[in-house]
Amino acid sequence: MLFDLTGFKILPVIIPDGILFLSIFFPQVFANESKTIERLIELTEPRGRDAQEKVERIKEGEKAYLRFCVHCHGLHGQGNGKASSYLRPLPRDLSLGIFKFRSTPSNALPRNEDLYRTIKKGVPGTAMPAWGDVLAEETLMSLVEYIKYFSDRFQIETPDFKMSAGLEPPYEKHSVDKGKVLYKELRCGRCHGEKGERSGRLENKLTDAWGNPSVVYDLKKPGLYKAGFSSEEIYHTLVTGMDGTPMSAYDYVASEDLWHLVHFLQSQQKSEEIPPLRMSQKIVSYPTSKKIGLSPEAPVWQGIKSVPVKLRALKSASGKPAVINIQSIHDFKHIAFRLQWKDETPDTAEPGARFYMDAAALQFSSRSGFDSIYYGMGERKKPVNIWHWKADSFQKVEGRLRIKNKWVAVNPFSEKSVEEMNASGFGALTVQSLEDQQVTGKGIWKNGGWTVVLLRNLKTASPFDVQFRESMNGLVAFALWDGKQKEKNANKKVSFWQQLQIQ
Ligand code: HEC
Ligand code: HEC
């Protein structure tokens, strides 16, 4: 919702007590037409060699943006990339020039270092990855330069000063107690609950400047602090606020009192670290002379190195990652993967429950090198091959279900527990024809967890399949669906690309 008043934008933020209007001073935020490189060059201030360097940096930034960011943030930075419809909270509309994570005063532009930090460290509890894990320092810097051109604000204004945090007083009981009183007096609990425990959408009463429901996260979980949970980072969040959200700036509160608040919040925190997603792991497929079969508990898997891979929910406020343990072996003819993960309830294809089944998927790219593909769903012209295992037919129900005296195929595409698919970009998922479906799989649920084996020939005749060769290096990513949590389709947990080596 945006009202235009003679060049000013008024962004309404609805809070439970009524409607509060925030005026943001920037004209024509939507003027966002042809942002060509030429125009960017024109706009860059420095001349001579400096200018040339800046142009190079912006070009590099554009290249990286189109590879890694466009799927979520969109071509013009408006937060409407192809993946955005799958994600909550939505990717930021960078064209409006409103930023949550700043060290600068409320309503001011972020500094380069603020943007750099967000891109590098990602936003915990959301789909925004920590790019510092996979992109070089210079690439991160070039992205900072490039995304600033989505908003005209950066051409009109200069970023403000960094707000000083002063000196942190000692963390002691006296300070925590004072913070507790202030937390009450300033009525933080309206939105955050008595002790900061509330999480969720504030009963749908709050919206943000982008017109979407605003989510508050459990302040007892330091790993979910989007702007960081070190003392100074929390201080900055309080003093600068999170623009565009109902979390306003407490810049009128004395510095000393803000520190007491920080200490109170820290006293409430349970140290549950949410580890950042990493892609740097290597999964090796080891050769074996033993027979490889489908049995998930066959002795052939004993002693094979297991690699724990973290997965993060694409659409969840809890941000709690899952871990899937991966092993792989091959006998020069077949290749098998064994996946193990914790899941307290087996959600199989039983009547009534079959719409939310436990499932896991492997996604392969035969191209090596991370740079080539976004980890989501492949890119156009660079399709990925997906093996999708579901806790149905082969497991308990043997393929068909008797519903009202009629036999119904549980899985509309095949009666196997694994479906092979190809994807090239979000929304472009195709199931392979039946004769191309050659992956078999079998799962067992036992003692609070699934063990699933997927098996295929190293080589196949299908041009849509990933082909495995000895000593090749490829990429593999994983996805999990928990039926209990009603996860289905895009509502899933995903990993980054992992390296796969066939030994
Ligand atoms: C998988 C989707 C996804 C991808 C890919 C992605 N982002 Fe984001 N990004 C998000 C989401 C979601 C948010 C919003 C988080 C929030 O509002 O709490 C976000 C927020 C941001 C912000 C907001 C900063 C602020 O202070 O408000 C910046 C800057 C940003 N992303 C830059 C990038 C850049 C640069 C890339 C590419 C290197 C990128 N993003 C790739 C999903 C994504
Ligand atoms: C009007 C509702 C409201 C009030 C009052 C409020 N907050 Fe918030 N606060 C929010 C929302 C919404 C968010 C999450 C914004 C987001 O992530 O988009 C938030 C986020 C935060 C965060 C997390 C920052 C991060 O890095 O993710 C902290 C810490 C916080 N608030 C502390 C406080 C304290 C302390 C007070 C009182 C002095 C307070 N809030 C008052 C709505 C409120």
Residue 493: both structure tokens together: 């947990």
> With the C-alpha atoms ordered 210, 215, 219, 222, is the resulting torsion angle positive or negative?
negative
- Choose the residue to mutate in 62, 63, 119, 128 for probing ligand 1, maximizing ligand atoms within 8 Å of C-beta: 128
As to burial, measured by CB atoms within 10 angstroms (0-12 exposed, 13-18 middle, 19+ buried), residue 2 is middle
Whether the pLDDT of residue 458 is over 70: the answer is: yes
The CB of 397 under 6 Å from ligand 1? The reply is no
Atom of ligand 2 nearest to the CA of 242: 15
In this structure, are residues 368 and 479 in contact, taking their beta carbons and an 8 Å threshold?
no
pLDDT at 26: 27
The span from the CA of 237 to the CA of 251, in Å, is 10
| 146-167: pLDDT as tens digits | 999 999 999 888 888 899 888 8
Q: Who contacts 358 (Cβ-Cβ below 8 Å, separation ≥6)?
A: 343, 346, 347, 348, 390, 391, 445, 450, 481, 482, 483, 484
**Nearest Cα residue to 118 out of 138, 140, 97:** 140
**Nearest Cα residue to 378 out of 288, 245, 479:** 479
Q: Which ligand is nearest to the CA of 242?
A: 2
**Nearest Cα residue to 367 out of 379, 352, 358:** 379
Strongest mean pLDDT among 134-143, 442-451, 457-466: 134-143
The CB of 118 under 6 Å from ligand 1? The reply is yes
**Nearest Cα residue to 73 out of 144, 147, 155:** 147
A 10 A CB-CB count for 345 gives 13
Specify the higher pLDDT residue, 249 or 356: 249
Residue for token digits 């087996």?
346
- Interval 246-263 mean pLDDT: 94
The CB of 188 under 6 Å from ligand 2? The reply is yes
The CB of 69 under 6 Å from ligand 1? The reply is yes
Specify the higher pLDDT residue, 474 or 94: 94
Average per-residue pLDDT for the chain: 77
- Residue 290 CA to ligand 1 center (angstroms) comes to 47
Strongest mean pLDDT among 7-21, 28-42, 253-267: 253-267
Strongest mean pLDDT among 6-15, 286-295, 312-321, 421-430: 286-295
- Residue 143 CA to ligand 1 center (angstroms) comes to 12
Residue 272: both structure tokens together: 């549950």
Whether the pLDDT of residue 46 is over 60: the answer is: no
pLDDT at 10: 32
Q: How far is CA 216 from CA 105, 138, 276, in A?
A: 21, 34, 20
Specify the higher pLDDT residue, 369 or 463: 463
In this structure, are residues 420 and 426 in contact, taking their beta carbons and an 8 Å threshold?
no
In this structure, are residues 476 and 283 in contact, taking their beta carbons and an 8 Å threshold?
yes
Largest CA distance in the chain: 80
The CB of 131 under 6 Å from ligand 1? The reply is yes
Provide the pLDDT confidence category of residue 201 given band limits of 50, 70 and 90. Answer: low
In this structure, are residues 455 and 432 in contact, taking their beta carbons and an 8 Å threshold?
no
The CB of 416 under 6 Å from ligand 2? The reply is no
CA 376 to chain centre: 10
- Interval 468-483 mean pLDDT: 84
The CB of 24 under 6 Å from ligand 1? The reply is no
Q: Which ligand is nearest to the CA of 71?
A: 1
> With the C-alpha atoms ordered 425, 427, 428, 432, is the resulting torsion angle positive or negative?
positive
**Nearest Cα residue to 357 out of 483, 492, 485:** 483
The CB of 216 under 6 Å from ligand 1? The reply is no
The CB of 98 under 6 Å from ligand 1? The reply is no
Q: Which range (2-16, 344-358, 373-387) has the least confidence?
A: 2-16
The CB of 13 under 6 Å from ligand 2? The reply is no
Specify the higher pLDDT residue, 485 or 219: 219
The CB of 128 under 6 Å from ligand 2? The reply is no
Tell me the one-letter amino acid at 467: Q
The span from the CA of 159 to the CA of 406, in Å, is 67
Whether the pLDDT of residue 129 is over 70: the answer is: yes
The span from the CA of 19 to the CA of 21, in Å, is 6
Q: Which range (196-200, 303-307, 405-409) has the least confidence?
A: 405-409
pLDDT at 167: 85
pLDDT at 380: 43
pLDDT at 377: 44
Specify the higher pLDDT residue, 34 or 89: 89
**Nearest Cα residue to 479 out of 469, 470, 487:** 487
The CB of 284 under 6 Å from ligand 1? The reply is no
- Choose the residue to mutate in 123, 126, 134, 315 for probing ligand 1, maximizing ligand atoms within 8 Å of C-beta: 123
Residue for token digits 């497929």?
285
Residue 40: both structure tokens together: 């960017």
| 345-375: pLDDT as tens digits | 777 765 544 467 888 999 887 554 444 334 4
Long-range contacts of the stretch 21-30 (C-beta < 8 A, 24+): 22/107, 22/209, 24/98, 24/107, 24/209, 25/107, 26/97, 26/152, 26/153, 26/156, 26/157, 27/152, 27/156, 28/152, 29/95, 29/96, 29/97, 29/151, 29/152, 29/153, 30/95
Q: Which ligand is nearest to the CA of 73?
A: 1
